[in-house]
């Protein structure tokens, strides 16, 4: 069957062929299995664990230090296994089904990439940017030796630690509870509670 533009839609046979091609390259197949497992653990960590702890589980430190002067021209020298693992991980992260929006898996991707680079003491960086239509955007990336390994984009790194909500036995507080954090309950003149 043809799609618009004359391109053929991938049928099940093509998916099987791609999977078999991975079996021919054992390093890629192993990297795919590892990446899938790491992205699954990272998904749970992002949802239920404080970011500092999640970063330490994956072998990274959360960094809010002043970034080093730009050394973008000098790439980090990675081993073949690290390059293969990071390439497969990036492809998997692009198609991660549990992302809140397309391309929104950068924190999960960065945590998993930190695991592959754990012997190099990776630093997890968080950054923000302003967009006229969408407001404040957040992004995460990994740095090794002061150089970005995953894409930092045009985001300004955070230089101080934001105050993270504390978890309770029932998990992280809901949005309504977050709205109350740091505020004392006040009452309206008619007796209703307000923020």
Domain coordinates of the chain in residue numbers? 14-160
State the pTM of this model: 0.70
pLDDT at 101: 72
pLDDT at 156: 85
DSSP states along 82-93: HHHHHHHHHHHH
What residues in the chain have per-residue pLDDT under 50? 1-3, 172-195
pLDDT at 94: 84
DSSP 136: E
pLDDT at 44: 92
**CB-CB contact of 54 with 107 (8 Å):** no
pLDDT at 20: 59
């Amino acid at each position: 069957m043809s799609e618009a533009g004359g391109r053929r839609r991938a049928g099940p046979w093509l998916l099987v062929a791609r999977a078999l091609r991975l079996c021919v390259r054992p390093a890629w197949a192993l990297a795919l299995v590892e990446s899938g497992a790491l992205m699954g653990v990272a998904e749970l960590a992002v949802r239920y664990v404080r970011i500092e702890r999640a970063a330490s589980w994956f072998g990274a430190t959360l960094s809010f230090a002043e970034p080093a002067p730009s050394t973008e021209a000098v790439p980090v020298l990675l081993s073949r296994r690290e390059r293969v693992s990071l390439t497969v991980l990036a492809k998997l992260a692009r198609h991660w089904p549990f992302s809140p929006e397309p391309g929104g898996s950068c924190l999960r991707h960065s945590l998993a990439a930190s695991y592959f680079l754990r012997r190099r003491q990776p630093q997890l960086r968080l950054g923000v940017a302003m967009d006229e239509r969408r407001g404040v955007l957040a992004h995460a990336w990994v740095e090794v030796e002061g150089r970005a390994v995953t894409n930092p984009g045009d985001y300004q790194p955070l230089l101080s630690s934001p105050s993270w909500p504390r978890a309770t036995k029932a998990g992280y507080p809901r949005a309504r509870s977050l709205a109350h954090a740091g505020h004392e309950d006040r009452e309206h003149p008619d007796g209703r509670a307000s923020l």
